[in-house]
Chains A and B, each alone.
Chain A
Amino acid sequence: MNWEDRLSPTVKAVPPSGIRRFFDIAAEMKGVISLGVGEPDFITPWHIRESCVHGLHKGYTSYTSNYGLLELREEIARTIYNNYQVSYDPRTEALVTVGVSEALDLAIRALLSPGDEVLIPEPCYVSYKACVTLAGGTPVAVPTSMEHEFRVTVEQLEKLVTPRTKVLLIGYPNNPTGAIMPHKELSEIAQFAKKHDLIVISDEIYADLTYQGTHTCFASLPDMRDRTILLNGFSKAYAMTGWRIGYALSNPDFIGAMNKIHQYTMLCAPITAQLGAIEALRHGKEKMENMVAEYNCRRQLMLGGLHQMGLKCFEPKGAFYIFPSIKETGLTSLQFAEELLKAEKVAVVPGDAFGESGEGYIRCSYASSISNLSQALERIEKFIKSRQ
């Protein structure tokens, strides 16, 4: 019996994650220094873990409101207002989700009809395109380039927008490139969205990890609050990836529709993670800023190190990734990553895992200790020299 025939064609059409295959090779090897990890190397700060343990002692083990604990939604609304001066009603305009991943899926499913097109600047996080395809929509990649610091421009968007385009999905600071969007350029994107009456899903999970200038929240731009579904969470800034906790903010209609899917599929985010998230927002700022300062040191180390060995690389200004070009080695991204792993036991992620325009690059995560990074840089340099 060929069970594969029984699968939904939509699911079959989605290719498996490019990272997965590479993971299988890397996981088998010993002594690997990994720059392939898309999560902080810090463990969640102790006060956050402790608050969760305390919650368990007190018997917090039940469901919560579908929307999430009101206390948490209030803290989220307060934080976003303090940071970006955008106000949301915590009762109707905030939804606590199982990571930003769930929020993204909900937003896309709530908005798309079959055949609707979604503009997605690339390279981008691996699940953007897959989520659109699974929801019956059509992802339309908008390639960005190193020459333009991996920022999306209105000019490119205008070329690809059609009457079927319904959503623009952006993620800045960007995984995998570390690119950010300055206020001026983001304002132009906002005008473009308004002109074409697009809804914007803005994944700002790396917002707190901005090293130069300040992060512009897309919803803070004129007329954008109601047109935007703002996604954020706790994974990166508070080192809480495994807690699976994030949130969406938007107008009551969008949040209500997303909550409808959420209540039938997820019911609510885990209460323990919600308790940790409240503690993170109330008392986690200092620890978070310490981590950001540490990432910034490592960013400079990586940038300097990669430049020194002659790899072309633009300066990433956010997230914890650096995205050097390996085109001059004559290898493809996958070849480079595989050969580097075999020869020098350093794991990086081939750039094409994040879309076609990522070909010719590799993603190096600097969420690793300084000594690991220094060692990895030495090994990469040795690998490049051996090929010259």
Chain B
Amino acid sequence: MASVEDRWPAVHQPKLKTKDLRKTYGLVVALAGASLDLKEGEFLTLLGPSGSGKTTMLMTIAGLVQPDSGEVWIDGRLATYAPAHKRGIGMVFQNYALFPHLTVFENIAFPLRMRGASEATIRQEVARVLELVQLPEVGGRLPRALSGGQQQRIALARCIVYRPSIVLMDEPLGALDKKLRDQMKLEIKRLHTELGITVLYVTHDQEEAMIMSDRICLLNNACIEQIGSPADLYFRPRSVFAADFIGESNLLDASVAGIDGNDVTLNAAAGALLRARLDDGHNVRPGDGVKLMVRPEMLSMLEDGVSADNVLNASLTDVILVGGVTKTYARLADGTLIAATGLTRGPLCGLEKDASVRLGWAKESGVVLSREGPAV
């Protein structure tokens, strides 16, 4: 068995690289030219709605699905069509795919046996990873005698026991209930930091992606929509889809009135003049139809006499106490529903339905998005 050090590549070289991966099933395009770099020790999540191509991408990297075109590079070696068993990649499957006729010990020993490890090494390594996933006692049991969470840990143990170069995880928490899922999220995160492994993770759950990832790759309709850190995706979404998919957002129709450097003035469809800041290298032109995205927690209800960069008049429709936060919904003059979220300060009082309110936010909080297609 090759030790970890043997396979450590040059630091600047990406651990995993895909170039223009394309896969179609009949007329359905599952993946339309996806390129991605994964750095050593990074935790990258493929996030997207079902059918967005994230599982196809994972399978292509694992070697379980062959792409129509494009390239897969693992540790600086071209591996597009290398058989799965030669890639040295670990994979955790959605329903764990533990071998039901083998004991936990034999399940974990399987990849070591396939690599011709000695009986002593096998014993030692299996004990090591069982310790790592905090289940040292279950070696003699069959998988079906374990609870869902335990099976999940064993699937992880089986995957990391041979120190694979990259670990792929295909919605590994999908079958668990919420409480276990929350626990396992932190567990996986812990293993990632502790072992310094490189992880490519697939999920459709944005919260999971936000909590665990170093970077998120957002997929939509077989295309990569945006790659960036969780904060990037949250604060600087580059498309309406990204803004809408991650977190809650208010999207206001507007047209560009004027541009001064990075400052932009917008005529909102709701009938107000709004201001926002553009990123460097934007390609917004005066007269363009755009959407202005503002996160609900960036909006605040203005007291009389207080002002802000942007102010909209609206009439209150609902105030909902969620717990730590209170959500306020209001309707603009053109009928658009707008949401504002604030920390709960006390019992709801003094706010009546149809009351007229003023909502304000700073110009830095708004993100200008072109209505359809690529970001601006």
**A and B found bound together:** no
